[in-house]
Structure 1
Amino acid sequence: MKSSTVIHLDGYQLSIEQVAAIARERLQIELAPEAMERVRLSRAMVEEMVSSQQVVYGITTGFGKFSDVVIPAEDVSQLQENLIMSHACGMGEPYPAEVVRAMMALRINALAKGYSGIREDTLLLLKEMCNRGVHPIIPQQGSLGASGDLAPLAHMVLVMLGKGEAEYQGSRMPGLDALHAAGLKPVRLEAKEGLALINGTQAMTALLCLAVTDAKILIENADVVAAMTVEALHGIPKAFDPQLHLVRPHPGQQESARKLLEHLAGSERTTAQGALRVQDAYSLRCVPQVHGATRDAWDYVYAAVTRECNSVTDNPILFSETGDVISGGNFHGQPMALAADFLAIAIAELANISERRTERLVNPQLSGLPGFLTEKGGLHSGFMITQYVAASIVSENKVLCHPASVDSIPSSANQEDHVSMGTTAARKLRTILSNSAKVLGIEYLAAAQAIEFGKGKLGAGTEQAYAKIRQAIPPLADDREMHLDMRKAEELIAGGFLVS
């Protein structure tokens, strides 16, 4: 359940929207009482195993290839600290604070389910770090996405030990200093706790939660921008007729067709079938089919990520109800890897078809409009190079769309002989989303400019979108620094819905 400023986590009901709110709006986290009771029960299991000297993976044994090495009871705490320090091997630029916060929220929720054996105080420290804005510095490179996101999550836990680095109130500092500045104290990990904190899919899932949120905005805005292009080119909205899409009943296709008609309602700039031409080019006529397929992909990914937000993904898993301790593979990131690759391809297709529509807008042989949307062609280049840029970015996306999930490199002396590369897939997805917002922004800019050369009332949705871009960017009369306009258009595309 969610209030205006607090999200209560119980391990079972965390939504993607709530993760995004914790990450970006800095909403506070509280733990449900029933979750804390489950945490206490699973912790009691761990303490019983240690006291009775049972041989259980990761509790009284080493890790990975060292799973057959039994650790004496007096060393189990040192084992957990060693695990964190040795596994904190990330490299590259750090994740933005919003990704780190999403990771922390997801890990807290997974631990709150009560199957991981963590102590209450350790879980509460992680919660308070998130609530007070102590954000560990977590490098982006280094996760194989099976055995979970070991390296990224180890960097998160370093700060809990008073080690590593963190960002606090805008400053980067040693982890211990950040804890002290926030009024917190480091923890000494006990049996199972290090493994409970780092064995999971929370880095890739955090990236996916934010990507799913951003992708929804792009999908909705792609429909209204496409509708603007339809008007600018006097397109034929009959191709969006509901009866056509009823006989090929993909839900996303039907929704995109409905949205296009909604955005074009009342427009005086579209044409009837056969008036100017019998059919439009595919980049106009097939918008529902292409955008709709992306909608269907988004629906699948949304459902998969929602399940992962409320899953137990560490190892071993403790079942206090039965007393079973089961070593398995819930940490394997393949479900998220495939979801990230699928959404990356789907979002890239929004950019692919958008660039083709931009070409139709700027090419006088295809548009009937002034070449490159300038009345002073020759002296002025107008929108000539904007299409070059869109083509370049679309090509970059095609390279990035190579699926990470089909790759695997064995690790831990071949004990971990198949891995997901899910975090790589999710990182690539984030780049593709940013790239696609740029390409859609270019089309948005060009469509608005093309509308300047026509007459007649715009549609109900396109009028709103046109007004929004004109509040930020005036029409192009003479050549100017186009990159400034393009960045503003990108910000409008990525920053929220163009139509209320």
Structure 2
Amino acid sequence: MPPAKTEPGLTFGTAALRIEDIVALARRSTRSQLDNAADFVENIRAGARFLENLLAREGVIYGVTTGYGDSCVVAIPPAVVDELPRHLYTFHGCGLGQLLDDEATRAVLAVRLQSLCQGVSGVRYELLEQLHALLEHDVLPLIPEEGSVGASGDLTPLSYVAAALAGERDVRHQGERLSAADALRACGRAPLPLKPKEGLALMNGTAVMTALACLAFDRANYLLQLATRITAMNVVALQGNPQHFDERLFAAKPHPGQTQVAAWLRADLAIEGPQAPLHRLQDRYSLRCAPHVLGVLADSLPFLRQLIETELNSANDNPLIDPHAERVLHGGHFYGGHIAFAMDSLKNLIANVADLLDRQLALLVDTRYNHGLPSNLSGAPHERAMLNHGFKAVQIGASAWTAEALKHTMPASVFSRSTECHNQDKVSMGTIAARDALRVLSLTEQVAVATLLAARQGLWLREQAGELGELPAPLAETYASLNHDYPPVIEDRALEAELRQLLSQLRAQHWRLYAR
């Protein structure tokens, strides 16, 4: 589908990009342009020119005049140096698993382009133009998600990007699968054979894990807010004690994120002054301690943003080229340890949100704890109650999704494997960590929509019993939106389609929540 905006919204060049920029490009909600200012273009070209001059002097450059990895001791004769990049992306064409979806693929293209724009990778400006053209015309390489250990970067998945630039392998374009050469031709471009170092510059970096991390961060940020709104709805549905979120109480333990979540809950519940609890002086932890659970995520997101955005705006291939000092810098910036840590941390934080909401749902359906709501939130009249089971299976499903989310919290980064003849003998596993985080997010979003639908049912049941009263404006808006799209469950019905629709709305960030 075409971008929503017709004018370029951001420029790939010297300016730093934010996570939101990558997400906007991934969703085609903005467009981009490549900086064509003379000083930027010259800085890029200087690196490629220095490499050409060094090659002419028969300089030794890893991955240019040598083999790759453990084969760095193998000299490449000058007559065949130009063939090496094609061999690199060819022998790495062994990825398996599911293909990255369109959003993730666009994010990968954008992140790799931003890294090469740092001007120390020794590539031509024409390569940047070709990479930007894939993004601009939505020519999406078919990238298998499995096969990267996160060092030396995302070699195998990024080989599919390198191959597409050169007109090889298949891509998605305008909803069809076709050869990269045909898609480039349809966009008025020709395949671009890669020069020495360009294959390595494209593939030897952290673009896949960082792209997935950007998408995961964005989803986590919205899920934090939705989980807070669901909690507020459940405080009302379960007739809980809103004084658990008192401002003075949280001033005594002032973690900023935790304090923010408590403030959101106060706004949702319109708490003004002391209020007597309806049933319990102290609610169970899944309500009372919700700011403390969600607050850990809220307090961690700024730190995780720093890690992700630093990686996003870095040069992370090897070797790096300093054309002005005429130096080739051999190092290990392809190592994705910061992204691995960020994603291992995020999946733990998100799984705790799943666990919190699953516990709230368990309270809602259980007559021992839900303070007068019908068993399993069934809306059936008395004469039909014995036949109807309401949200019983939804709660079972939520427990299954939560259990699976919790299972995925084992840190990927601790499973480093020695690979490639022990050249890559300590690797980050950052891409696996990022994929795990996205899986945990998907499962937790399923728990969230199950609990959201149940919370809406709980409010409706209170309303039918004359126990609801006037909802504060934020809750009233969400409740009205749900009422518009989802009828109450009176007689049992299969809820899969409604849960899937709710998931689509969640992932489109449909509900207006809080300003951050």
Give TM class, smaller chain. Answer: over 0.9
Name 1:463's counterpart in structure 2. Answer: 476
Name 1:367's counterpart in structure 2. Answer: 370
Name 1:167's counterpart in structure 2. Answer: 172
State the shift of 1:21 in Å: 1.1
State the shift of 1:276 in Å: 2.4
Choose from 122, 129, 132 the match for 1:124. 129
Q: Work out whether residues 165 and 172 of structure 1, in 8 Å CA contact, stay in contact via their aligned partners in 2.
A: yes
Cα distance in 2 between the residues matched to 1:432 and 1:469: 25
Cα distance in 1 between the residues matched to 2:510 and 2:293: 20
State the shift of 1:266 in Å: 6.4
Name 1:244's counterpart in structure 2. Answer: 249
Name 1:475's counterpart in structure 2. Answer: 488
State the shift of 1:74 in Å: 1.6
Choose from 323, 334, 345 the match for 2:337. 334
Cα distance in 2 between the residues matched to 1:396 and 1:17: 29
State the shift of 1:271 in Å: 9.0
User: Which of 365-374 and 490-499 deviates more?
Assistant: 490-499
Name 1:51's counterpart in structure 2. Answer: 56
Name 2:465's counterpart in structure 1. Answer: none
Q: Specify the SS of the correspondent of 1:367.
A: coil
Matches within 5 A, 1:266-415: 272-368=275-371, 369-374=373-378, 375=380, 376-415=384-423
State the shift of 1:4 in Å: 4.8
State the shift of 1:299 in Å: 2.0
Name 1:499's counterpart in structure 2. Answer: 512
Choose from 14, 18, 28 the match for 1:15. 18
Cα distance in 2 between the residues matched to 1:210 and 1:11: 23
Q: Work out whether residues 398 and 446 of structure 2, in 8 Å CA contact, stay in contact via their aligned partners in 1.
A: yes
Q: Specify the SS of the correspondent of 1:163.
A: coil
Asked if 1:147 corresponds to 2:155, the answer is no
Name 1:262's counterpart in structure 2. Answer: 267
User: Which of 67-76 and 164-173 deviates more?
Assistant: 67-76
Q: Which amino acid aligns with 1:305?
A: I
Q: Specify the SS of the correspondent of 1:365.
A: coil
Asked if 1:433 corresponds to 2:441, the answer is yes
Q: Work out whether residues 84 and 157 of structure 1, in 8 Å CA contact, stay in contact via their aligned partners in 2.
A: yes
Cα distance in 2 between the residues matched to 1:4 and 1:470: 37
Q: Which amino acid aligns with 1:185?
A: A
Deviation digits for residues 28-74 of structure 1, max 9, x if unmatched? 33222243222111112211110111112112111100111111222
Q: Work out whether residues 7 and 31 of structure 2, in 8 Å CA contact, stay in contact via their aligned partners in 1.
A: no
- The 1:275–1:387 alpha-carbon spacing in structure 2 relative to 1, beyond 3 Å, is closer
Cα distance in 2 between the residues matched to 1:150 and 1:251: 39
Q: Which amino acid aligns with 1:494?
A: R
Cα distance in 2 between the residues matched to 1:493 and 1:112: 34
Q: Which amino acid aligns with 1:30?
A: Q
Cα distance in 1 between the residues matched to 2:73 and 2:410: 38
State the shift of 1:497 in Å: 5.1
Cα distance in 2 between the residues matched to 1:218 and 1:413: 42
Name 1:420's counterpart in structure 2. Answer: 428
Name 1:450's counterpart in structure 2. Answer: 458
Cα distance in 2 between the residues matched to 1:232 and 1:26: 37
Name 1:485's counterpart in structure 2. Answer: 498
Q: Work out whether residues 138 and 174 of structure 2, in 8 Å CA contact, stay in contact via their aligned partners in 1.
A: yes
Q: Specify the SS of the correspondent of 2:11.
A: strand
Q: Work out whether residues 218 and 494 of structure 1, in 8 Å CA contact, stay in contact via their aligned partners in 2.
A: no
Q: Specify the SS of the correspondent of 1:314.
A: coil
Cα distance in 1 between the residues matched to 2:240 and 2:252: 22
State the shift of 1:409 in Å: 0.9
State the shift of 1:143 in Å: 0.5
Number of paired residues? 497
Q: Specify the SS of the correspondent of 2:47.
A: helix
Q: Which runs of 5+ in 2 are unaligned?
A: 463-467
Cα distance in 1 between the residues matched to 2:164 and 2:231: 47
What RMSD in Å do the two structures reach over aligned CA positions? 1.7
Cα distance in 2 between the residues matched to 1:110 and 1:5: 19
Name 1:180's counterpart in structure 2. Answer: 185
Deviation digits for residues 211-245 of structure 1, max 9, x if unmatched? 11111111111101100000011111111112211
Q: Work out whether residues 42 and 114 of structure 1, in 8 Å CA contact, stay in contact via their aligned partners in 2.
A: yes
Matches within 5 A, 1:70-109: 70-109=75-114
Q: Which runs of 5+ in 1 are unaligned?
A: none
Cα distance in 2 between the residues matched to 1:452 and 1:157: 55
Q: Specify the SS of the correspondent of 2:334.
A: coil
Query: Normalising to structure 1: TM-score of the pair?
Result: 0.96
State the shift of 1:493 in Å: 2.9
- The 1:36–1:111 alpha-carbon spacing in structure 2 relative to 1, beyond 3 Å, is same
Q: Specify the SS of the correspondent of 1:325.
A: strand
Q: Work out whether residues 242 and 271 of structure 2, in 8 Å CA contact, stay in contact via their aligned partners in 1.
A: no
Q: Specify the SS of the correspondent of 1:183.
A: coil
Query: Normalising to structure 2: TM-score of the pair?
Result: 0.93
Asked if 1:112 corresponds to 2:84, the answer is no
Q: Specify the SS of the correspondent of 1:245.
A: helix
Q: Specify the SS of the correspondent of 1:278.
A: coil
Q: Which amino acid aligns with 1:308?
A: E
Q: Work out whether residues 241 and 278 of structure 2, in 8 Å CA contact, stay in contact via their aligned partners in 1.
A: no
Q: Work out whether residues 236 and 271 of structure 1, in 8 Å CA contact, stay in contact via their aligned partners in 2.
A: no
Cα distance in 2 between the residues matched to 1:386 and 1:271: 36
Q: Work out whether residues 224 and 498 of structure 1, in 8 Å CA contact, stay in contact via their aligned partners in 2.
A: no
